[in-house]
Amino acid sequence: MELAVYNIKGEATGRKVELNDAIFGIEPNDHAIYLDVKQIRANQRQGTHASKERSMLMGSTRKLKRQKGTSGARCGDINSPLLRGGARVFGPQPRYYGFKLNKKLKRLARLSALSYKAINNKIVVVEDFSFETPKTKQFIQVMKDLSLENKKTLIVTPETNINLLLSGRNVKGYGMMNAASLNTYDVLNADTMLILESSLASIEESFLK
């Protein structure tokens, strides 16, 4: 697949780049995508939720009432889960939600996500650019010129660009990521991928090694 290369003013440069079919042209595997996104989301969970069970509560262990002769159910101590302020039965406890996936499956999921973006024409390639100093106003203007204003956009850079990162971090809807760090969830979560031209070589190096 060939894509036109634009400059930061949104003008076509007259050049085109060829997207590698081994990365952007495979048959997407939906189940691999599901598993990878599930793992990413699970790894983001803190797992610090907790509730107090009966043995964790402080309270009198005195028997509240006689067991027989009251025409009601027997009643134990004040920590009973049946009483107001009592313990919780089988409540949540801190745990780790992450799980393992094979490297080949995760790689297939990432390639599938990139292929979906290419199939749906949601990839824009732009000439490499940077800012001399962090300028949010300049960043917003670039997005307007590229017709990406108010669109959830993932900007892919060959390496960390501090000035570009600082310029766009406070603007809602825009994310930034190194080419080598692309993951399935962030690719699919964005409406459009804005890829700096030199990032394509970095993507090939990461995914085809």
- DSSP assignment of the chain equals -EEEEE-TTS-EEEEEEEPPHHHHSS---HHHHHHHHHHHHHHT---------GGG--------S-SSSSSS-----TT-TTSTT---TT------------HHHHHHHHHHHHHHHHHTT-EEEE-----SS--HHHHHHHHHHTT-TTS-EEEEESS--HHHHHHHTTSTTEEEEEGGG--HHHHHHSSEEEEETTHHHHHHHHH--
CATH 3.30.565.10 fits 2-45+101-207, yes or no: no
Confidence of residue 92 (pLDDT cuts 50, 70, 90): very high
Q: Between 209 and 207, name the one with better pLDDT.
A: 207
Mean pLDDT across the chain, nearest whole number?
A: 92
Q: What is the reported pLDDT for 185?
A: 96
Confidence of residue 29 (pLDDT cuts 50, 70, 90): very high
Q: Domain-by-domain residue ranges, the chain?
A: 2-45+101-207, 47-96
Confidence of residue 76 (pLDDT cuts 50, 70, 90): confident
What's the mean pLDDT in 133-145? 92
